[in-house]
Structure 1
Amino acid sequence: MSKSIFITGTGTDIGKTYVTGLIVKKLKEAGENAAYYKAAMSGNDRRADGSLIPGDALFVKKTSGIEQPLEQMCPYIYENAYSPHLASRIEGNPVEMDVVKEGYKNVCEKYDYITMEGSGGILCPICFDEAKIQLEDIIHELDMPSIIIADAGLGTINSVVLTVEYMKSHDLPIKGIIFNNYHPGNVMEDDNIFMCEYMTGIKTLAKVKKYDKELDIDVELLKGLYS
């Protein structure tokens, strides 16, 4: 039976895809049948034939070394680097929950550990005009716990606490926080992490430095976060 976890962040460009790649790589190197999934992906380039390249999925695939085809990784791909609700308003092909669920089900039938990445932060609107779908609706529909990715630097206390409080109030289980762009020995970043743990009661799972190629976490602990 497959297990999964959702990767969200305190905002966009926080490093969700980078950390997700390291997570999937850790599982792959441990011999696990790991896969990646994302409901909607914005800000993608086009191939010579005009088709869109799912950039985040391609990054995770290359980083982790998994053999999962790109076509299985994301049902909705947009060119404009906007929230999916706005990108689809401009480009068409709005997100439908049933399509997301079907794609996820297909991945679960083939792989044991599914790491699903969100779009933007926890409040990202996925569809608005045709249906009202928020990112949290997808998490609820697929019944996943989450890991929060946060930057270790200035301002993270506010963004982490607000994200955690929102998720708690909306019954979105949190397994822990991974801090990205961490500089060992930096007094402010170490204090940020301490204060985030103190103010939220959520534990730190790992600290990722810039250009890290491995995630510093015990693989059995990592596997235990999936449900």
Structure 2
Amino acid sequence: MGKKLFITGTGTDVGKTYVSALILKKLNQNKEKAAYYKAAMSGNIKAKNGELIPGDAKFVKDISQIDQSLQTMCPYVYEAAVSPHLASRLEGNPVDIKVVMQHLTRLLTNYDYITAEGSGGILCPLKFDEGELSLTDFIKQGNFPSIIVADAGLGTINYVGLTAYYMQKEGFKINGIIFNNFEQDNILHQDNLFMCKHLTSLPVIALVKKGDTDIDIPIEKLKALYE
């Protein structure tokens, strides 16, 4: 049975998918059998045949070069660029946690390292009208350890602090923080790094610069994040 890790973010467009792609690329380059998973994905475009292309999954696959098929990466794919709970209201096919967990179990059976990415921030709802379901339910049922991805820029102290506080209060295991778009000579980014470590007592796993094609984490340290 494979090991797993959940990638959450301080919000939308902070770099969760980018970081996930670099992590999977590192695992793949080190000959590890790795897979990507996202319970629900919205904001996707249609192919010429009318089928929705899971954009985040395709990005991860293209960057990481893992051999996993797109069809096994996400059971719920929506076109509307809104939260999955609203997208399913507009398009139908609401998220069923049983289906999500069945797909995850199959991946855990066939791969050694499963990197699961969240939709938006930690409180993103996956379903609402036919019973409430959120990312936190998925994390709990999957018994995931997590890492937090944050943009290194202005506002991140508050975003990281609130995300970590909520997750710690709810009993989620957080293995650390990865900062995206980090600029080494930027005094704001340096201070954000210091303050986030101070406020959360969490380790910083990696600093990802804009345009990085690899993630600077030793492979054994990376593998140790998965449980």
Confirm or deny a common fold (TM above 0.5). yes
SS in 2 for 1:93: coil
Could you state the TM-score of these two structures normalised by the residue count of structure 2? 0.99
Structure-2 separation of matches of 1:217 and 1:198: 22
Per the alignment, residue 72 of structure 1 pairs with: 72
CA drift of 1:185 comes to 1.4
What is the number of equivalent residue pairs in this alignment? Answer: 227
Correspondence 1:10 to 2:16: no
Per the alignment, residue 94 of structure 1 pairs with: 94
Correspondence 1:131 to 2:120: no
Could you state the TM-score of these two structures normalised by the residue count of structure 1? 0.99
Per the alignment, residue 163 of structure 2 pairs with: 163
State the Cα deviation string for residues 97-119 of structure 1 (Å, max 9, x = none).
Answer: 00000010111111000000000
Structure-2 separation of matches of 1:54 and 1:8: 18
Per the alignment, residue 174 of structure 1 pairs with: 174
Q: 1:193-212, aligned counterparts within 5 Å?
A: 193-212=193-212
Structure-1 separation of matches of 2:43 and 2:112: 29
SS in 2 for 1:119: strand
State the Cα deviation string for residues 32-53 of structure 1 (Å, max 9, x = none).
Answer: 0000000000000000011000
Structure-2 separation of matches of 1:170 and 1:79: 32
Per the alignment, residue 188 of structure 2 pairs with: 188
Over the aligned positions, Cα root-mean-square deviation in angstroms equals: 0.5
For structure 2, the residue ranges without an aligned partner over 5 or more in a row are none
CA drift of 1:139 comes to 0.2
Correspondence 1:220 to 2:220: yes
Correspondence 1:61 to 2:61: yes
SS in 2 for 1:158: helix
CA drift of 1:131 comes to 1.7
Structure-2 separation of matches of 1:15 and 1:151: 7
- The runs of 4+ residues in structure 1 deviating greater than 3 Å are none
State the Cα deviation string for residues 72-96 of structure 1 (Å, max 9, x = none).
Answer: 0000000001000000000000000
Structure-2 separation of matches of 1:151 and 1:89: 30
For structure 1, the residue ranges without an aligned partner over 5 or more in a row are none
CA drift of 1:26 comes to 0.5
CA drift of 1:210 comes to 0.6
CA drift of 1:184 comes to 1.3
Structure-2 separation of matches of 1:56 and 1:12: 13
Per the alignment, residue 25 of structure 2 pairs with: 25
